[in-house]
Amino acid sequence: MDRIRALKTFIAVAEAGSLVGAARQLGMSPPTVTRIIGDLESRLGVTLLHRTTRIVTLTAVGDAYLADTRKIVAELDAADDAARGAHSVPTGLLRVTAPALFGQYYVSPVITAYLDRYAGACVDAVFLDRVVNLIEEDVDVAARIGHLQDSGLRAIRVGSVRWSVCGCASYFERAGLPQRPQDLKGHSIVSAGAGPGAVSWRFGGGESVRLLPRLTYSSIGAAKSGWGLTRVLSYQIGPEIGSGGLQTVLSEYEPDPLPVHIVHTEGRRAPAKVRAFIDMAVERLRADPFLN
């Protein structure tokens, strides 16, 4: 039994959700795919897939096995790349993800600089506000804000950000400056949350203030216009501070900063496309004054 072929076939079936789809992708006949999966399950002594006439789904054992097999195949592919020379020259498709605004403000410039430097590389960038599973979604590199859970990923810290309450000078002239977190209850509040309703803003020392915003707005536009106060991560307003646009308040009450990391799944055999991008991202992000 060709174990590597079996693993790649299993991955293809799991991703396609059908034996026929995997067969088409691999250039095999459906009976061949069925036989390979059957032999694999027989060798392991477990059922990896639930089969119906229309779809194929993973068993609990199959789901765990899929994560392991993807790592194994990725390591083999990296070894092949190293032998062929791709380990030294950045080429091919690189998939990158980051939080939406952070990606737009800070990761996009790294991507364009990377593409300008390496003509043989291309990038698929996805910026969205959820944690992307790098292995399951076939992503090479991610920027993450916040404390990391033990996921087995390689992580390089590039800076930190903090939660900041801010408003513009015209608002403070009209409404005054809050001196402590509880004073916020007397101010017009703009929430950057996903929908209407009460919010709790946490501050240093565990203090929390429950507020009822009259406006939910996914940008700093309302605060810049002088309507009220908002609370955002500091990187979102870095260029606005000190330029007459916005000013922060209650800085002495801010909670501990949140770390910013570049994370990836590759080890020392990471292909050049991954290593080159990470090196560039780390250098540029660590030098950014709004991330320190």
Question: Do 3-84 and 92-158+258-291 come out as alike in CATH topology?
Answer: no
Measured CA angle at 116 (ends 114, 119), to 5 deg: 95
Asked which of 225-229, 242-246, 280-284 is least confident by mean pLDDT, the reply is: 242-246
Instruction: Write out pLDDT tens, residues 20-40.
Output: 888 888 889 989 999 999 999
pLDDT tens digit sequence for 99-153: 999 999 999 999 999 999 999 999 999 999 888 888 888 899 999 999 988 667 8
Q: What topology is assigned to 163-253 in CATH? A: D-Maltodextrin-Binding Protein; domain 2 (3.40.190)
- What is the model's pLDDT at position 245? 80
Predicted confidence at residue 197, as pLDDT, reads: 73
Q: Are strands 154-161 and 258-264 parallel, antiparallel or unpaired?
A: antiparallel
Judged by DSSP in three states, 205 sits in helix
Q: Of 160, 158, 161, 162, whose CA–CA distance to 262 is shortest?
A: 158
Q: Domain 92-158+258-291: which CATH class? A: alpha beta
Instruction: Reply yes or no on whether the pLDDT at 195 is more than 70.
Output: no
85-94, 241-250, 283-292, range with the lowest pLDDT: 85-94
The torsion of the CA quartet 237, 242, 243, 245, rounded to 10 degrees, works out to: 50
Q: Has residue 279 got a pLDDT over 60?
A: yes
Q: Where are the domains of the chain?
A: 3-84, 92-158+258-291, 163-253
- Cβ contact 127:99 at 8 Å: yes
In this prediction, residue 20 carries a pLDDT of 87
Percent over 70 (pLDDT), the chain: 93
* Residue 285 to residue 292: CA distance in whole angstroms: 9
CATH class of segment(s) 3-84: mainly alpha
Residue 76 pLDDT > 90: no
Burial class from Cβ neighbours inside 10 Å (0-12, 13-18, 19+) for residue 210 reads exposed
Mean per-residue pLDDT of the chain: 88
pLDDT at residue 183, as a whole number: 95
